[in-house]
Amino acid sequence: MEVPLEDRTAVADSQAVQPQLAASEEAVAFLLSIEPAELQKCVFPDSLVTVSEGGREVGEFTVTLEFAQRLHRPCLLLHAHSRGALDDTPCGTTVTAYLSTDLEILEEDHHEYVKPQGQQMERRCHMVQRDGQMFIEKVTAVGEEVKQQNDSYALSVVKGLVTEGSNLLLMRLMALRKAVPQNMVFISFGQQLHITHTTYRELGPKLLEVGRESLEVFGVERTVDSGEDVPTTWQCYFLADGHLASRVQVGSPVTMRLLKLPPRPGQYLADDKLLFAKIPLVLEEDMELHCKYLDRKEELKADHATYMRKHPELRALLADFLQFLLLRKPDDIFHFAKEYFLPFASRHPPGPSFQ
């Protein structure tokens, strides 16, 4: 049904008086000030354990970061994964993001799930930069009900955008600089894919127990304005080298903690193997690895098909063997195959397969 002209005018006037949210000048300047040498110091893994209020381990949180390429463009590939249980309900989050050297989002996939008894809730948000636009697709599934949302923004509108992927690297940089400038107001996307604000502020240093040591850590607080509900606040503390030591959502009954100090660069075990945390591999949730797997799969299929076209006798040989096998139906198939193919051995004198 067509909207009356006066209603359309009212909507246009309403949109005109509502200013588009934007990142602060200080936030944009921070992103532009990032140097390659700083990024080099950020390329390391993090591994934390999720602990309940009673001290029980209920999950884990891991982050990996490496240099990569996307569409022949140098970038950073970040993969974060958390899984555990909240009130004995399994839940988890996976984030895979390709980031430019100034933390611009090239592509990101954000997947969350909660599995209460009898019903699964799942949410996936995929965003990709293409043709001067940021395209966003969000799919929410509750049981059998699936809801999909799509939106797009000009890149000039989302200048200073921070997502779940770029947030982790942004806080590492702040921790390494040991300073969070004033008025660090970035933009992000709310539940309905509209633009909201994300604010960072410095918590300052404090002492934190890591293993058997008491270390001074640097704190950064992140507050996400949802636009419809109460803002969500996270508090993170970092070691002097940028490793994440503690991460907690304000009001949550669980805390992510570093239980032992990460290995120093060049630190080896007695068997000369580097000390790295074990990172869970989920093929379907790692975009780069999944693409490599699909490419390799197609490459092998094409190679095998080419070989079979060059050797048509292979199909005939296998067809004869299978037909003979089904006619005889032997109990010991391995022995039957051995006797059948024995005459084809180069060092065996020719003769009949079966007497």
The answer to whether residues 46 and 187 belong to one domain is yes
Residue 155: pLDDT above 90? yes
Looking at the structure, tell me whether residues 338 and 218 fall in a common domain: no
Which one, of 153, 152, 43, lies nearest residue 101 by Cα?
A: 43
Alpha-carbon distance of 248 to 237, in angstroms, equals 9
Instruction: Look at 27 and 281; give whichever has higher pLDDT.
Output: 27
**How many structural domains does the chain have?**
2
Query: Do 131 and 208 lie in a common domain?
Result: yes
75 and 141 belong to one structural domain: yes
Instruction: Identify whether 260 is part of a domain.
Output: yes
For residue 181, is it within any domain?
yes
**Quick one: tokens of 151?**
């939106």
Domain boundary among 221, 254, 278: 278
Is position 1 within any domain? no
Whether residue 13 is predicted with pLDDT greater than 50 in this model: the reply is no
Residue 297 is part of which domain span? 291-344
pTM above 0.75, yes or no: no
Q: How many residues does the chain have?
A: 355
Lowest-pLDDT choice from 113-117, 184-188, 348-352: 348-352
State phi, psi for 212 to the nearest 5 degrees.
-105, 5
Residue 302 placed within a domain? yes
196 and 310: one domain?
no
**Residue 17: which pLDDT band, with cuts at 50, 70 and 90?**
very low
Tell me, yes or no, whether 113 and 230 share the same domain. Answer: yes
**pLDDT of 246 higher than 70:** yes
Domain end among 247, 278, 309: 278
Cα separation, 246 vs 205, in Å, equals: 13
Same domain, 148 and 257: yes
Query: How many Å is the Cα radius of gyration of the chain?
Result: 28
Count H helices and E strands in the chain, helices first: 7, 14
Question: Is 234 within a domain?
Answer: yes
Average pLDDT over residues 116-139: 91
**Is the pLDDT at 68 greater than 50, yes or no?**
yes
Question: Can you read off the two tokens belonging to residue 333?
Answer: 């198939």
